[in-house]
Structures are given as C-alpha cells and as structure tokens.
Amino acid sequence: MSSKPQTLFDKLWASHRIGSAGDGADLIAIDRILLHERTGGVALKMLAETGHAVHAPSRVFAIMDHIVSYRADRAADDARSPGGEVFIRETRNMAQYAGIHLIDSNDPRQGIVHVIAPELGIAIPGASLVCPDSHTCSLGALGALAWGIGSSEAEHAMATGALRVNPPPQMRITIHGELPEGTGAKDLALHIIAQHGASGGKRCAVEYAGSTVENLSVEERLTLCNLAVEFSAFTAIIRPDDKVFEYVEGRPFSPAQEYAHRAAEQWMALETDEHAEFDYELSIDASQVVPLVSWGTSPAQSSAIHTPISQKADSRAMAYMGLEPGAPLAGLRIDGAFIGSCTNGRLSDLRSAAKILAGQKVASHVHAVCVPGSQQVKRQAEAEGLDIIFKSAGFEWGAPGCAMCFYAGGITFPPDARVISSTNRNFEGRQGPRVRTHLASPATVAASAVAGMIAQSESSKPEIDA
Amino acid sequence: MKRTPFIRHSGKIAVLPVDNIDTDQIIPSREMKTVGRTGLADGLFAGWRYVSADDRTPNPDFVLNDPEHSDATILVAGENFGCGSSREHAVWALFEYGIRVIIARSFGDIFFNNCLRNGILPIRLSPEKTDRIMALTRDTTFVIDLPEQQLHFGDSAVRFDISAYGKRLLVEGLDPIDLTLKSFEQIRHFHREDETLRPWIYRAVH
Ligand code: SF4
C-alpha cells in the first residue's frame, strides 16, 4: 500500500469505487439519487419502457419543484407553465409505480431539490449523490460527492446502482481573509467566476478550503458550491466540520441514532491530507470581494456596481442586456426583482433581504417576487415574521419551488424587462423571452427593489473620502 | 436498448460561430412539452430560429433557416457548446432534427456524455482547426469515419480524439445500461461489503 497523501475528493472517490470500468473510467457506487419532475420523470419513464427495475427504490427520491406553480394557494397539480401538469402527474405516477420516495408539490417536506436534500438529511457527508440537474454540485457543501448528470445517466444509476465516471482533475481554491461587511457567499462565488472565467473550473472537482470557507455557515457554503457549475467545475466540495455534523444531526434521512457515532468517526477523516497534490491551485483574498452584479449573459460577466463596464465588453451580451459600455450598472432602472432559487432561497438569504426591506417599500414600477426555497424555509420565515416584511414592502410571497429562476412557459417578466435576481444563471432567455437578468446577492436584490434601480445596501457602500 | 451504430457519416455543416451556447438555447425549457424524448425537433434553437416565441415564422437570419443549410447534419460551434442545464432534451432535439455530429472547441461535460449515449458524435478540435472549418464554404461535404477517427473535407483530413468507451458506444450502438449490468455481480458484492461499513446508507428511513 502506498501512503500517498490523499485529497478529500480522493477519499470520497475511493470509498465509492467499485472497480475500473476501462478506458480510464471507474465504476462508482451511487448512494442516493434525486429526481425532479422536469428531467426525472422522463428517466423513470424510460426505465419502465426498457423493462429495467429500480435497483434500490428506498435510495431514490422524486421531488416536485421545477414547474409547480408558485401561487400561494396552488393545488397539487398546478403548474406555472401551460401543459406543465403533465410533468407533475406523470412523475408522480411513475414514482409511485417504481416505489421510490415521492415528495409531492404540497408535501410539508417539499422544496427545490438542492434545498431540501440537506434539510432532510438526504445529502450527508461521505455520501455519493446524483441528480439530473446541473446544480447538484451544491451538495458538496456538506462533504458529499455530488454531481449533476443527464436523464439517461439517472436511468442508468437507478437500474444499476452505479455510474461509469472518469475521475475528474482536481483543483483547490483556498480562500483567506474576511468578507467585507455587506458581502456574502454569492458575491464571493461571482468574484471567483468573474476573476477566473466561466471555464475557470476546468472540469475539476473543486475543493473550497481556507479560513474564509471555514467561517461560512452551512447555508453560505451551499451557495458557494451552487455556483461551481457556472465555473465549469465537475463539482465542488468542502471538508465537513463540526458545523456540518451538527447540521446533519437528527434529520429524517440522516444516520439513525444507533449509527451516529460510527458515522461521525468516518466523517472526521474526510479531509485533505497535508502535502496532497492538486492539478490546479488558486488562492483568493476574501477581503477584496465587493457586492457584485452581473452585467452580461454569463455569470463571469459581473462587476462592482459603480465600475463602468469595459469598452471591450462582449458586444453580443451588451446588446442583449441593452447596455452601453462605459457606464456603470448603478442607477439602471429595473422592472423586476426576484429572491429565491437553490442559490439564495434559504432562510439566511431571506433574513438578509428582510433586514433591508424592513420598513421600506419596493419602488412602484418594480414587480418583486420572493419564493422561499422550501416549505421548511417558508414555515421558518413565517414564524419569524419575514413574510410580513416582504409583503408589506410589496413583494409577492410565493409557494416553494424554482419559480422565476427559469422560464418554462407561462407568466413571467415581459420581454426586455430588466430583472435583478438572486439566482445563478443570466443566460439569454433564462427568465423569459428577451428578459434581461442581473445576478446579485439577496441583499443587493432587496436594495435595488427598493431603489427601483440597481443599487447596493447602505452597509456595503464603499466609503468615499471627503 | 440497441441503437443504430454510428460508423461513417457524410453531410453538410452549419456554423454557429458563438461561444457558450447553453442547453437553454439549444432547447428552451418552454419547448419541452411532453414527458418523453420525442417531439422536440420543432423546439430546437427556438429562441433563434423563430421570429418570436409564439409566432413560429422562421427567422431568416438563423443559419438553419438558410435553404442552403437546411439539410445540415453537422454543427460547428465555438467554445463550451452545450454548457448549462443538464437537460438531455437538448441532445434528443438535435438528434430528432437530424444532427449527427457536433464539432466544437470544447463542450459542456454533461452534454458531451449525453451525446455519446444518444448517437451523436461530439468532436473536440483545436481552436485553429475549428476556425479553419468555420471558414469553409457552405457546400463543402464532410465525411466522418469514426473507426478511423478521421474527418475528411475537400482535400483535407483531420484526426480527432475520442475515448475508447465513447467510440464503442457509438460504433456498436450499445446501451450503456446493458454494458454496466454485465458487472452487476461486482456491484452487488461492493454494496454488501459497503453495507457493513456504512449501514446508514443502506437502511434508509421509510
Ligand atoms: S432553482 Fe433554478 S437553478 Fe436551482 S434547481 Fe431550480 S431551476 Fe435549477
């Protein structure tokens, strides 16, 4: 046996490696499979059509989140896009037929798959998880090996309990320093992508490490890892620590009490050994992070709101966004504001927005919507009275799901609307035909909604020398 | 499920000289109307192909609407083609439309794998070679020989790389599930051993 120092990723990989699958790939055991009605229903259907059974139904979870209506009084089948009911009904039927866990639209456990997987203890340290959804990388925040796949790979994982995967290269991003007041994990993630480009992750398994990361809460770590796919990473991962162990404890699908001690012992070993080697190393100074807002149609096209957009900026993106180079983002009139999604739809996100909205009103021309990431987040927020703050400020308060994070047909912001959004994708048409999406933190979205234009919260304004 | 083997293909190219074409552009979410992998070709590139989302009048500026390109079976694009959402519908839509080969400088990972599983050959070429192909006249015929890993056009031949596994899936028209199920005993054995180490994974609460 060699005693070569191992990375956290190496350890996770080794503990799931069934064997070589030839041609450089490994056969990797899949512990838990998550599905949603948009891409999971079709995987269940293909599986049934080809006559394959689900290998371990008790480890597969179907969740309704993508096209469920976000109206507060939705019925179980209500979709937010015309014809969307078909996806909800068929996924429900197929899930029942396959005998897997079903978390239906109005189940008290329901929410966006990447929000509820940690909440329910489905995502735990040391587990391998896949979902036909690219933001599955979020779950690496708990020290899990989690990545997004395609629908037919989900079918594959269900039928065989394993997937054939090429071991990705590895990158460590070490972040030191304190995040300045008024900035958070979203700004940090956009900062990294803006600095190193949308391809900067080089298809690596990216380990986020360093004191800044250790100081982030579990929810903030989920936000940081969520954006890894926008950085072209295979996935992201963070060493699970006491915060995570505490977070995981007692959740419905977490290890039962009788195993808790053994599990904790194994999880403690999930860290990168000293002198372990990575294919790439980056280091980030968190004290340089400022509140960022995207100006273009890639998350990499983000800047501080008072910085004039470069004369050399991508002209296609600028045209789509209706911007002229040389002007800053600050002061641009907005038509819409959205707070929610798997990026920033958790309780801490809603709290940070509510802090800014308390006693304030959204500008009258702004259509503002807040959709909590899960039923649990919604219940907790309501228990704290956050819903009252959002509603009195003029925000719509919706029922949990992906909601306006992506357009699936149906009602959305009108063409050419300028929307500031706490989501993760600003691609052309992402929130509706010709809708112009500006990504930002929940705090920046809230401050902009009140101002009626792109703005940042008081606490994060740069100090101006007199 | 056995698929049609991909051995040799000849066809015309259509160039999309844009980087980062994501799967939302390849098939907008609103175009995914059924729970299945068919009925998607109409929605391919819908945002660019039609004048507006509701009005299906073809946009004359879009390459696939150009009569000289309407029968193209090979797409040529820039960097990071197929990035973004994992939706496999992007690949199903391309296949149903008739696209068999995609040449690009690089691809989104999930998209790339989805191509191999669904009978489309994704070819990664250097920026120089991709640019050279993009500059060719529209009536150039391409011949792709997968067993030989060669791309022929005009008097040129270019070699491309592909993993042995990807090549086997395409050339033999194999279903990856059937391939993995050949190792099912090995998988079962792993699970049995792993269950003693991590029982909490296998004894999930119901
Ligand atoms: S919230 Fe948005 S990014 Fe997250 S899973 Fe839903 S659609 Fe995808």
Confidence of residue B50 (pLDDT cuts 50, 70, 90): very high
Same domain, A432 and A316: yes
**pLDDT computed for residue B37 by the predictor:** 87
The answer to whether A428 faces chain B, any CB pair under 8 Å, is yes
Give domain status of residue B3, yes or no. Answer: no
* Total number of domains in chain A: 3
Residue A233 reports pLDDT greater than 50: yes
Q: Is residue B168 part of a domain?
A: yes
**Looking at the domain assignment, is residue B17 inside a domain?**
yes
For residue A75 the two structure tokens come to 């019925």
CA of A174 to the centre of ligand 1 (A): 27
Query: Is there a domain that residue B1 lies in?
Result: no
The per-residue pLDDT for range B57-90, each reduced to its tens digit, is 999 999 999 988 889 999 999 999 999 888 899 9
Cα torsion A39, A41, A47, A53: sign? positive
A150 with B113: Cβ contact below 8 A: yes
| Cα Rg, chain B, nearest whole Å | 20
Do A52 and B177 lie within an 8 Å CB cutoff? yes
Note whether A332 and A430 are same-domain residues. Answer: yes
Do residue B185 and residue B120 come from a single domain?
no
At A166-195, the pLDDT tens digits run 999 999 999 999 999 999 999 999 999 999
Task: Give pLDDT, residue B2.
Answer: 67
Report residues whose beta carbon is within 6 angstroms of any ligand 1 atom. Answer: A 66, 112, 114, 133, 135, 341-342, 402, 405-406, 423-424
What is the reported pLDDT for B206? 46
Q: Is A462 part of any domain?
A: no
Question: Would the CB atoms of B29 and A50 count as touching at under 8 Å?
Answer: no
Chosen domain end from A142, A165, A188: A165
Which residues of chain B are within 8 Å of residue A46 when distances are taken between CB atoms?
Answer: 37
**Is A25 part of the contact surface with chain B (CB cutoff 8 Å)?**
yes
On whether both B19 and B86 belong to a single domain, the answer is: yes
Q: Is A30:A157 a contact under the CB 8 Å cutoff?
A: yes
Q: What is the pLDDT of residue A399?
A: 98
Is residue A235 one of the residues assigned to a domain? Answer: yes
Among candidates A445, A408, A448, which has minimal Cα distance to A423? Answer: A445
Q: Are residues B164 and B188 in the same domain?
A: no
* Mean pLDDT, rounded, of chain A: 95
Asked if A323 and A416 sit in the same domain, the reply is: yes
Tell me how many domains chain B contains: 2
Instruction: Report the distance separating Cα B197 and Cα A56, nearest Å.
Output: 18
Residues B190 and B90 in one domain: no
Q: What is the CATH number of the domain that holds A237?
A: 3.40.1060.10
Beta bridge partners of A185: none
Ligand 1 atom 5: residue of nearest CA:
A342
A1 falls within a domain? no
- Report yes or no on B143 lying in a domain: yes
Check if the beta carbon of residue B5 is closer than 8 Å to that of residue B170.
Answer: yes
pLDDT at B127 > cutoff 50: yes
pLDDT at A460 over 90: no
- What values do phi and psi take at A383, rounded to 5? -65, -30
Please name which of A32, A130, A148, A156 lies closest in space to residue B205, comparing C-alpha atoms: A32
What's the CATH number where B149 sits?
3.20.19.10
CATH number at residue A43: 3.30.499.10
Distances (CA, A) of B52 to A406, A433, B48, B55: 18, 8, 8, 5
Owner of token pair 């600095």 = A195
**pLDDT for A445:** 98
Residues of B in contact with A23 (CB under 8 A): 163-165
Whether A69 is covered by a domain: the verdict is yes
**Which pLDDT belongs to residue A354?**
98
Considering the domain architecture, whether residues A108 and A18 belong to the same structural domain is answered as: yes
Question: What residue numbers bound the domain in which B104 lies?
Answer: 8-174
Residue B191 counted as domain residue: yes
Q: What DSSP string runs through chain B?
A: -------EEEEEEEEE--S--BHHHHS-GGG--SSSSSS-GGGTTHHHHBSSSS---B-TTSGGGSGGGTT--EEEE-SSBTBS---THHHHHHHHHT--EEEES-B-HHHHHHHHHTT-EEEE--HHHHHHHHTS-TT-EEEEETTTTEEEETTEEEE----HHHHHHHHHT--HHHHHHTTHHHHHHHHHHHHHH-HHHHS---
For residues B64 and B75, membership in a common domain is answered with yes
Q: Are A175 and A118 part of one and the same domain?
A: no
Radius of gyration of chain A (CA): 21
Give dist(CA A140, CA A129) in Å, integer.
9
B48 in a domain, yes or no?
yes
Count of C-beta atoms within a 10 Å radius of residue B82: 29
Looking at the fold, whether A348 and A453 belong to one and the same domain comes out as yes
Contact yes or no for B176 and A408 at CB 8 A: no
Residues B13, B93 within the same domain: yes
Note whether B204 contacts A59, CB cutoff 8 Å: yes
Whether residues B179 and B134 fall in one domain = no
pLDDT at A465 over 50: no
Closest by Cα among A166, A47, A326 to B110? A166
Asked whether residue B203 carries a pLDDT value surpassing 60, the answer given is yes
What digits encode the pLDDT tens for the residues A296-341? Answer: 999 999 999 999 999 999 999 999 999 999 999 999 999 999 999 9
Distances (CA, A) of B188 to A54, A161, A162, A325, A344: 14, 9, 10, 59, 39
Confidence of residue A21 (pLDDT cuts 50, 70, 90): very high
Q: Are residues A309 and A438 in the same domain?
A: yes
In one letter, which amino acid is A3? S
Distance CA A42, CA A36 (A): 10
Average of pLDDT values for A272-294? 98
Helix axes B109-117, A151-160, angle to 10 degrees: 70
Give the A window 52-91 contacts with B, CB below 8 Å.
Answer: 52, 56, 58-59, 81, 83, 86-87, 90-91
Contact between A247 and A218 (Cβ < 8 Å)? yes
Partners of A33 in beta bridges: A60, A130
- Claim to verify: residue A138 and residue A238 sit in the same structural domain: no
Same-domain check for residues B82 and B181 = no
Say yes or no for a CB contact (<8 Å) between B30 and A408: yes
Ligand 1 atom with least separation from CA of A134: 8
Closest among A163, A162, A136, A132 to A147, alpha carbons compared: A136
CA of A88 to the centre of ligand 1 (A): 16
- How big is the A-B interface in CB pairs under 8 Å? 178
Alpha-carbon span A397 to A399, nearest angstrom:
7
How confident is the model over A384-432, as pLDDT tens digits? 999 999 999 999 999 999 999 999 889 899 999 999 999 999 999 999 9
A466 pLDDT band, cuts 50/70/90, is very low
Return the residue of A nearest to B162 by Cα.
Answer: A23
Write the CA distances from A56 to A69, A273, B10, integer angstroms: 30, 33, 43
Residue B62 belongs to some domain of the structure? yes
Q: Would you state the structure tokens that stand for residue A180, as one six-digit string?
A: 């300045």
The verdict on residue A302 lying in a domain is yes
Please indicate, yes or no, whether residues B92 and B187 belong to a single structural domain of this protein.
Answer: no
- To the nearest whole angstrom, how far is the Cα of B154 from the nearest Cα of chain A? 32
Picking from A110, A143, A165, the residue at the C-terminal end of a domain is A165
Shared-domain flag, residues B107 and B180? no
Please indicate, yes or no, if residue A2 is contained in any of the structural domains. Answer: no
ipTM: 0.91
Q: What is the average per-residue pLDDT within B123-147? A: 92
**Is 90 exceeded by the pLDDT of residue A284?**
yes
- A79 and A158 part of one domain: yes
Pairing of strands A162-165, A25-29: antiparallel
pTM of the predicted model, to two decimals? 0.92
Question: Which residue, of A115, A131, A165, is where some domain finishes?
Answer: A165
State the first-to-last Cα distance of chain A, in angstroms, to the nearest integer: 65
| A266 found inside a domain | no
Is residue A407 situated within a structural domain? yes
Q: What is the mean pLDDT of chain B?
A: 92
Per-residue pLDDT of B11-43, as tens digits, reads: 999 999 989 899 989 999 889 888 888 899 999
pLDDT at A64 over 60: yes
Asked if A247 and A323 sit in the same domain, the reply is no
Residues B154 and B131 in one domain: yes
- The model's pLDDT over A136-168, given as tens digits with 9 standing for 90+, comes to 999 999 999 999 998 889 999 999 999 999 999
Would you state the pLDDT for residue A183? 96
B203 compared with A271, residue with greater pLDDT: A271
A371 and A242 together in one domain: no
Nearest to A16 by CA among A151, A118, A167: A167
CA distances from B104 to B72, B107, B164 (A): 15, 7, 19
- The minimal CB distance from A27 to the residues B89, B183, B206 is found for B183
Instruction: Residue A115: give the domain boundaries.
Output: 9-165
